[in-house]
Structure 1
Amino acid sequence: MASKFEIKEQFYLNDKPFKIISGAIHYFRVVPQYWRDRLEKLKLMGCNTVETYVPWNMHEPQEGSYAFEDGLNLREFIATAQEVGLFVILRPAPYICAEWEFGGLPYWLLKDPMMKLRFSYPPYMEKVSRYFEHLLPQVLDMQITHGGPIILMQVENEYGGYANDKTYMKQLADLMIEKGVNVPLVTSDGPWHDMLENGSIPDQALPTINCGSKIKEHFKRLREFHGTEKPLMVMEFWIGWFDAWGDEKHHTTDGDSAAQELADILEEGSVNIYMFHGGTNFGFTSGANYYEKLAPDVTSYDYDALLTEWGDITPKYELFKKVISQHAEIPDFPLSTVIKKAAYGELKVTNRVSLFATLDTLSAGVHSAYPLTMEELNQSTGYIYYRSNIGPARRIEDYRLITCMDRAHTFINNELKLTQYDHEIGVKQELELTAPSNELGILVENMGRVNYSVKMNHQHKGIKDGVIVNGAFHSEWDMFSLPMDNLDQVDFSKGYSEGQPSFSRFEFDVEEAGDTFVDVTGWGKGFVVVNGFNIGRFWEIGPQARLYVPAPILRVGKNEIIVFESDGKVADSIILTDEPKLSL
């Protein structure tokens, strides 16, 4: 039955005042078999709404090719939320930030050399419009006006921290309305500097704020910005934080302080708790920040949220539940999903092969006079390998990679000579060539495109400008795209040489599937694939020490794990334990 949700001096649901008490769950960071469990736990805390972003780069991974099935079945997630008794706030992009690869923007936008992301640049807007033509029909009939649970949709995201192109924001709002969105629109921005002024379009969307503390002060700022009486809402109440590779430890926040801030919010307005449940950056989906240096995010998006990455209730959850109970009735019902943890013990490696030995089974290779980027090769994430003959024995006094991101291994005749990362890339190096003929190989890893701020237009991965050999650009390259989504093509019958990037294979039997955690102590850097599902990156520098494997990825009977390691540092075993570990 159709209902209505309105924004007046406060929120109204069917003409009655309504306080939004929401929590964020990103469906794309949780296996779909666990969606109901996480949503039920949100409802059991007293929340009446769930909020989720929508990642454009997952739903249109290649231009003109769309995906809305399995773990990307947005309709099913929204329908499940409604079955659990929750309303939905939908934040449908085009940009989401979210510590997600490229902030949710698809890599292929960068194939336009003139691209201006998140501006009223006509070719960009044309691509957004075409995407909305495919995305919005998935959800239009799930708006509250059609009997569905969606009560609000957001226009863009934190735009005031990026630019102030009001034409762009109005074009987006008009586009959503034109294509059938008829629930109220909102924007969300930080309450600092000019962010509210830059990112808001008050005549079309209700401004809300994102922050984690000093709520009373920020609500005062929002009230003054509104000018007239409007609902006060924190669209992202940050109750934790994310981790980057190289951080000293997993970030945590004080539960009592966060609960007091929540009480302050609910005293005056509405809230969306970010994150209620963070989940996991499976595969190569984690983004990065870049200020003074590159800070790529770890695989876990635990966020010190109210549910852990693997879905356990935390003490902070109980504190928030107590606060919410002052404003809403707390329901009581049994959870419908049985979730167990399992320790499958130590697994010994059964096969191992060098990347170079099986390179031709994974990638066809492309030849060019000059290096091509991932984007030019229609590749989104993963690795790319550049190979070229650089001639006879001699001393290379000036070896440099020019405009290369993010991490590069240089090999001479398949022997590792140096590894460069971030600021180290582009620094002049010397190489001694001793063989009569020498092959240069460069393995470049995309560590995650920057998801926030001013570097977003410059996220071409791989080698963009070229390779300097003794003062001049070197030409004639064979390039091998390695998105690593076809590891069934790895030929383990081929050879392995110590110190080279490699694939290691493990097998184990499962009688009963349970959530488990992969411990790769003794390994360098790489990623882990379980039964064909990439569960994410590991790196010995931490802070994350173990990778989460949800039980639905496992199967009763024989299971396979493949570990790719890029730095030549491998062990002969891994451990599957029932104990998580978010810091070394």
Structure 2
Amino acid sequence: MVFLSVRSSHRRRYVMLFLSICGVIIYRQISGQTGKMKINRREGLSVNSSQFTLGGKPFRILGGSLHYFRVPRAYWKDRMMKMKACGINTLTTQVPWNLHEPRRGDFQFRGGLDLEAFLLQASDLGLWVILRPGPYIRSELDLGGLPSWLLRDRAMRLRTTYPGFTGALDGFLDKLIPKVVPLQFKKGGPVIAVQVENEYGSFATDSNYMKFLKEAVQSRGISELLLTSDTHEGLMSGGVNGVFRSLNLRKLNHDDISYLEAMQPNSPVLVMEFWTGWYDGWGDLHHIFPAEDMLSAVREILRRGMSINLHMFHGGTNFGFVSGAVSSPSYKPLVTSYDYDAPLSEGGDYTPKYHLLRDLFSRYRDEPLPALPALRWREDYEEAIMYQHLSLWDALPFTLESFKSQAPINMEDFPVNGGNGQAYGYALYETTITSGGFLRCGGSIRDRALVFVNRSFIGIFNYKTVELAVPDGKEERTLSFLVENCGRVHFSKAMDQQRKGIVGDIILNSIPLTDFVIYSLDMTQSFIDSLYRAPWKTLPNKPSFPGFFQGRLFVDGYPSDAFVKLPGWTKGVLFINGQNLGRYWDVGPQQGLYLPGPTLNSGINQVIVFEEQEGDFKVQFEDTPDLGMTVDIQ
């Protein structure tokens, strides 16, 4: 009865540990086999000739990817139940180091980042788990999920055995792995396998790195099956002896399978990432993978007796500033939505892909699938009219304390956040000039900057525009650069160079600018909350930009999900009750931001828009998404 004296969430964890210590045999359905059968917890997921076994019994992985950090915690159970109802038996999730350790030594495992609670929820619903802790996870996240403070080290070599990287990683693994060890299969938990790194074969700059990672997780107590995942090109160099290799692909190619089978004979084949869709970049179209094409490939994979993990089964949302960017053929940041054209939509809706997969997977199970969980109600709330305005300049006193620098410095080296620099958001660099002329950035702006003279807008620097004309004037004037980190590249051999802000000299008439005052504008929830004390003004007919705009959303009764539309606005960030829902940009394709019901309160809700250039002064709430014009994935 000792468990009755603690909270229920803790009580479940103690029960799990108690069961593992006592070696209790519990019951679970395995891969669609009829009835409840004893599970031999002494034998985890194993490679046995051409098939997997789990607990000594034949087992086929019918997996789906679901990322806890992209889904509101209140919806974890809903999304998992929908996985079960589709016929999924194994959940895969990745672990974002950058979110769990935003500042070195400051570990976050509460709320929406409570990994243990997420894994226990999966266990409660009868889902096995393949855990993919990285440290690099790609996942279209900023820097592939690696923390930006690593880049404060100018000699840093990410994803190698460079001591600066491995030392930081050891600190993270020392906190992460002990949370996972008690939840392994052989200890009574749901975790049946752990992935070592992610697609290292496409990077592969250090032959000792994968061996280091294998030892790092095993020495800390991971005893379940270890695996790697790579595309065809990376299968050889991305693997390590004693670790099972799996394949990532979209189109089933006989050569890919033959290559893997030749490399790993007498073993089952696992398609660890079968890409059900793709991600979108700002200025692109919304990528879709036709349902019939997807189903054809999945059907053939199963017909051949292989195991599969659908990546993604449910994509979710890149809330805040966490979305990454691509560098090839040129730099392009990714949108806020991570809908991914997945079988379960960003808002948790069933799609044609879902229904086709459910019908297919049902043929590989002897018992009926669970009934489809009901969909959640959506609301098209009354629009929020912006009634207050706060210019960027009036908000500066509420930022972290400004500092001076002879030359511009990158965000990661800012003397803020306890010596960890600035990870995301904007930064304002100001200096004085006494002449006009030609201003050149030479690629030193990462990634986009609005440029002002005496707070009057004169143009934009980005990767394409690297020269601006500055109006003539001999008096001393303030030259300002509002620089946005639009997202660090998530996949590149140049990841070590993903520093943001102003990373080199800005030249005016052949002379480098100096003597800067710098403001950190990371736009955290604490900063947005501090704006309650700011000198907001009634919205004028011609407000200044950039600026913050405030309105109210009234919710009558229990809050429901919605999608926020901002027609007439140009580019910026949306905050509801202080929470950053993500970026918007009129270049598309995404035209609506997902607003989860748990973000809202019954009654009055605060809406704040940070707009860079032009706004319509009202925000619309609708019950349908708009991810933009579509294009088929080639």
TM-score, with structure 1 as normaliser: 0.96
Aligned 8 A contact 2:432 2:477 in 1? yes
Q: Aligned in 2, Cα 1:499/1:293: closer, same or farther, shift over 3 Å? A: farther
| Aligned counterpart for 2:347 among listed residues 310, 317, 328 | 310
- SS of the residue corresponding to residue 346 of structure 2 reads coil
In 2, the alpha carbon distance for the partners of 1:82 and 1:57 equals 26
Q: Which residue of 2 aligns with 1:487?
A: 528
Q: Which residue of 2 aligns with 1:177?
A: 218
In 1, the alpha carbon distance for the partners of 2:375 and 2:294 equals 30
| Aligned counterpart for 1:406 among listed residues 425, 438, 447 | 447
- SS of the residue corresponding to residue 262 of structure 2 reads helix
In 1, the alpha carbon distance for the partners of 2:551 and 2:442 equals 36
For residues 420-569 of structure 1, the aligned pairs below 5 Å read: 420-424=461-465, 427-434=466-473, 436-485=475-524, 486-490=527-531, 491-493=534-536, 498-511=543-556, 512-566=558-612, 568-569=613-614
In 1, the alpha carbon distance for the partners of 2:254 and 2:88 equals 22
TM-fit CA distance, 1:489 = 2.1
- SS of the residue corresponding to residue 466 of structure 1 reads coil
In 2, the alpha carbon distance for the partners of 1:95 and 1:82 equals 25
For residues 141-290 of structure 1, the aligned pairs below 5 Å read: 141-192=182-233, 195-201=234-240, 203-226=241-264, 228-247=265-284, 249-267=285-303, 268-290=305-327
Unaligned runs of 5+ in 2: 1-23, 25-40, 415-420, 630-634
In 2, the alpha carbon distance for the partners of 1:399 and 1:235 equals 46
TM-fit CA distance, 1:204 = 2.1
TM-fit CA distance, 1:433 = 3.2
- SS of the residue corresponding to residue 76 of structure 2 reads helix
- SS of the residue corresponding to residue 197 of structure 1 reads coil
Aligned Cα root-mean-square deviation (Å): 1.6
Q: Aligned in 2, Cα 1:116/1:235: closer, same or farther, shift over 3 Å? A: same
Moved over 6 A (4+): 335-338
The total of aligned residue pairs comes to 574
Deviation string, structure 1 residues 432-476 (Cα, Å, up to 9, x no partner): 233722100000000110000222111100011122122121111
Q: Which residue of 2 aligns with 1:29?
A: 70
In 2, the alpha carbon distance for the partners of 1:83 and 1:338 equals 21
TM-fit CA distance, 1:395 = 2.7
TM-fit CA distance, 1:142 = 0.4
- SS of the residue corresponding to residue 80 of structure 2 reads helix
Unaligned runs of 5+ in 1: none
Aligned 8 A contact 2:425 2:523 in 1? yes
In 1, the alpha carbon distance for the partners of 2:535 and 2:125 equals 47
For residues 253-402 of structure 1, the aligned pairs below 5 Å read: 253-267=289-303, 268-329=305-366, 331-333=368-370, 339-377=376-414, 378-391=421-434, 394-400=435-441
Deviation string, structure 1 residues 471-502 (Cα, Å, up to 9, x no partner): 12111111000110111222242597645201
TM-fit CA distance, 1:403 = 2.0
2:159 is equivalent to residue 123 of structure 1: no
Aligned 8 A contact 2:85 2:372 in 1? no
In 2, the alpha carbon distance for the partners of 1:498 and 1:560 equals 20
Aligned 8 A contact 2:445 2:462 in 1? no
Letter in 2 for 1:179: R
TM-fit CA distance, 1:513 = 0.6
TM-fit CA distance, 1:264 = 1.5
- SS of the residue corresponding to residue 427 of structure 2 reads strand
User: More displaced, 351-360 or 111-120?
Assistant: 351-360
TM-score, with structure 2 as normaliser: 0.88
Deviation string, structure 1 residues 39-73 (Cα, Å, up to 9, x no partner): 01101111110000000000000111100000000
- SS of the residue corresponding to residue 139 of structure 1 reads helix
2:179 is equivalent to residue 138 of structure 1: yes
TM-fit CA distance, 1:191 = 1.0
Q: Aligned in 2, Cα 1:137/1:280: closer, same or farther, shift over 3 Å? A: same
Aligned 8 A contact 2:86 2:369 in 1? no
- SS of the residue corresponding to residue 236 of structure 2 reads helix
Aligned 8 A contact 2:323 2:334 in 1? yes
